[in-house]
Each structure stands twice: as C-alpha cells, then as structure tokens.
Amino acid sequence: MKMTLRWYGSSHDTVTLEQIRQIPGVTGVITTLYDKQPGDLWTREEIHALRKEVEAAGLKIEGIESVNVSDAIKTGSSEREKDIETYIECLRNLGEEDIHLVCYNFMPVFDWTRTELARKRADGSTVLAYTQAAVDALDPEKMFASIADDTNGTVMPGWEPERMAKVKELFALYQDIDNEKLFENLVYFLERIMPVCREYDIRMAIHPDDPAWPVFGLPRIITSKEKILRLMEAVDDVHNGVTFCSGSYGTNLENDLPDMIRSLKGRIHFAHVRNLKFHSPDNIEEAAQLSSDGTFDMYEIVKALYDIGFDGPIRPDHGRMIWGEKAMPGYGLYDRALGAAYINGLWEAIDKAKKRGI
Ligand SMILES: [Mn+2]
C-alpha cells in the first residue's frame, strides 16, 4: 500500500504539503481541483499545474478524490450525454498527466450526512457524529443550514452553498429515481467511460454511501457486500473498482468489514481507514484510529487489506479535532497524522509477522 493524505489544494486546505511530507511514511496525496463543479471540464493545464505543485513538495498525486458526477448523469436526464463526454475528457486529461485513480460517489443530493460536526468527547477532542433521531426530526434544508453554521468558516465538499441553495430542485430531480433506476444509470455511466479508463489504465473507485442506508427518502445503492458485488459483476472490468471506506460501510453493523474486503480482492483500488464509536446502532461518532477507542477491530481491517495484496493508496479518513487545531471538520493535520502512523504500524507488524512465519 501507499500511505497518503487527502489534500484540498493550497487555496483551500489549512494543511500544507510541507506538513504532509513530514508525516512518517506518507509519500503521496489524494487531491482534487476543489473549485470544479460536477460537469465542469478539468483541463490538462490545470491538472499539470496541480501535479507540479505536489511534486515540488516531494510528494506524488496518487489519485483524485473526487471527480464529481453530475446530477444529470445520476438521474439519467437529457443532459447526461454532454456531461459524460466532459467526464471522459477529464479522465483523458488525468491519464495524460499520469494519474490513474479516480474516487467518486453516486449518492443523490447529499454526498454524506452528519448531524454534528463537533461533538465533544470525554478527552475534549471533537468529532463528526451522526444520530438518526436528529435526521428524522429535520427537513433537509434545515440540515444544510445547521451544517453551514458549524464548519469553521470552511466549505465542506459536497455541501457547497451554491448547490445546497437548490436543495428543493435537487430533491425534485430524484423524485422518480428509485434504487434500480439509480443503479441502471450508474452502470450506463461506467460502461460509457470504461474505454477511456482502459486506454489510460484509470481505476475508478466508487465510494460507498454514508451512512449506509437511505436518508431523507433518497435512494442508496452502495451500502453492503451484496450491492457492491452486484456492481462489480454488472461491469466486470478491473477499472470498475472500489474505494473501501471502513467508516462508511461500517455505519451498518451488519457489514462484516474484513469479510467484505476479502470478497473484493482485486477490485479495491483505494482504501479509507477510520474507526467509529457506536453508542447505539443509530448514534455513531467518529473515533481515533486505535481499535480500543472505537467499535472496529482496526487490526483485522488492515490485515484483510494486507492479505488480499492491496497495493493501492490508503489514507486515514477523517480525524478528530485535537490540540486546538482549526481546520475543516474531519480534515485537520494532527489526528490524521496520528492515524497514518498507527496504520503504518499495524501494516509493519502484520508484514513482519507474515515474513517471519509467526
Ligand atoms: Mn470515506
């Protein structure tokens, strides 16, 4: 595996490439052109400039998170062909710049949902949290307003104000889209982009829905082993792959994470590793990576990745906010650096035990 950190670009991220470079074992970043809206073209020049900036800091772009998929593609509306053509052009330009991994998601309206961005834990750290009761009590527009109020002056990806101002229209777009229709539109999109992915060896890696169940009555299709395997079979090409996000699949305790990883051998191109602490099945907060701080056995998750021969980029997913840091919720430097060190430690121990026949 290649240890990476997500980086939002020098004009948006509070964390610098120089800081990332000093985290032991981190050799690359997962980044994006942050200002791009779904459906926008990413030019070769823009990608090239980003690449040069990252390389000048001694790091490598290991992948893009995300090239966002437009609502037209997700809903299969008349604009979809134009947006798919643009997406193909983006992929071509990324391939020309030697970038071979693209993370994306196929979630309607909201990229992810949390009900608190700064829940205080016993040690004084703050974390993202989700309570189903809070979602049930809210209408989506109020949810957006409460998230917008609480982001340390930063804009959360997927929750851009321009987009969320249209939240009612977005809901109307998805009115006739059920799980099957959304799945069909996803398969259609993947089949259309597979030729350019094969040409440039670009691995598409779908991020699971977060949380892994329907919210606000919107369809959700990437939530379980059965559903992700169905997608792998529907477009049976190595370039149709997976971002294995332990914190997203893990919101549903019925998902056996190590078993899912093993069943996706050869198709996991990117891994997001993080731990969750469950107070109940529908009251969940993010935790430190350490197994004992949360509900997951992080050793078993990392071991499953090791056992399937995972060699793609991995990143500590969200971190807690600690040591007085002010950053985009979930994306501070300190706790993610601790997370990277912890995952690297697990990996080294698993690797040495295996090689020594322990
Ligand atoms: Mn994730």
Residues with CB under 5 A from ligand 1 (ion): 245, 272, 317
Arithmetic mean of pLDDT, 286-291? 97
The mean predicted confidence, pLDDT, of the chain is: 93
Per-residue pLDDT tens for 26-72?
999 999 999 998 999 999 999 999 999 999 999 999 999 999 999 99
Cα(319) to centroid(ligand 1), Å: 11
Residue 242: the pLDDT is: 98
Looking at residue 3, its pLDDT comes to 98
Is the pLDDT at 152 greater than 80, yes or no? no
Query: 277: CA distance to ligand 1 center in Å?
Result: 16
Q: Separation of 248 CA from ligand 1 center, angstroms?
A: 6
pLDDT number for residue 323: 97
Give the Cα separation of 41 and 46 in Å (integer). Answer: 10
Neighbours of 175 (CB within 10 A): 8
Whether residue 159 is predicted with pLDDT greater than 70 in this model: the reply is no
Structure confidence at residue 218 (pLDDT): 87
Beta carbons within 10 angstroms of residue 123's beta carbon: 9
Per-residue model confidence (pLDDT) at position 188:
98
- Which sequence positions are flagged as catalytic? 207, 245, 272, 317-318, 331
Going from the Cα of 144 to the center of ligand 1, the distance in angstroms, rounded, reads 20
Please state the separation of Cα 114 from the chain's center in Å: 14
Residue 153's pLDDT is what? Answer: 57
**Percent of the chain residues past pLDDT 90, beyond the cut:** 79
Q: Return the pLDDT at 43.
A: 97
Asked whether residue 266 carries a pLDDT value surpassing 70, the answer given is yes
pLDDT for 135 equals 80
- pLDDT number for residue 115: 82
Cα–Cα dist 301/298, whole Å: 5
The CATH number for 216's domain is 3.20.20.150
Our count of domains for the chain comes to 1
Give the span between the Cα atoms of 100 and 205, in whole angstroms: 11
| Cα 271 to ligand 1 centre (Å) | 8
Residue 54's closest CA among 13, 88, 96? 13
pLDDT at residue 216 in the model: 81
Per-residue model confidence (pLDDT) at position 338: 98
- Domain range spanning residue 285? 2-355
Confidence at residue 158, expressed as pLDDT on a 0 to 100 scale: 62
Distance 245 CA to ligand 1 centre (A): 5
**pTM of the full structure:** 0.92
pLDDT at 181 over 80: yes
Q: Which tens digits make up the pLDDT trace of 81-130?
A: 999 999 999 999 999 999 999 999 999 887 778 888 899 999 999 999 98
For residue 356, pLDDT over 90 is answered with: yes
Percentage of the chain modeled with pLDDT above 70: 93
What is the pLDDT at residue 110? 77
Q: What is the pLDDT of residue 168?
A: 78
Q: How far does residue 78's CA lie from ligand 1's centre (Å)?
A: 30
> DSSP string covering 295-323, please?
SS-HHHHHHHHHHTT--SEEEE----B-T
Rounded to the nearest whole angstrom, what is the distance from the C-alpha of residue 272 to the centroid of ligand 1?
Answer: 5
Is 191's pLDDT higher than 80? yes
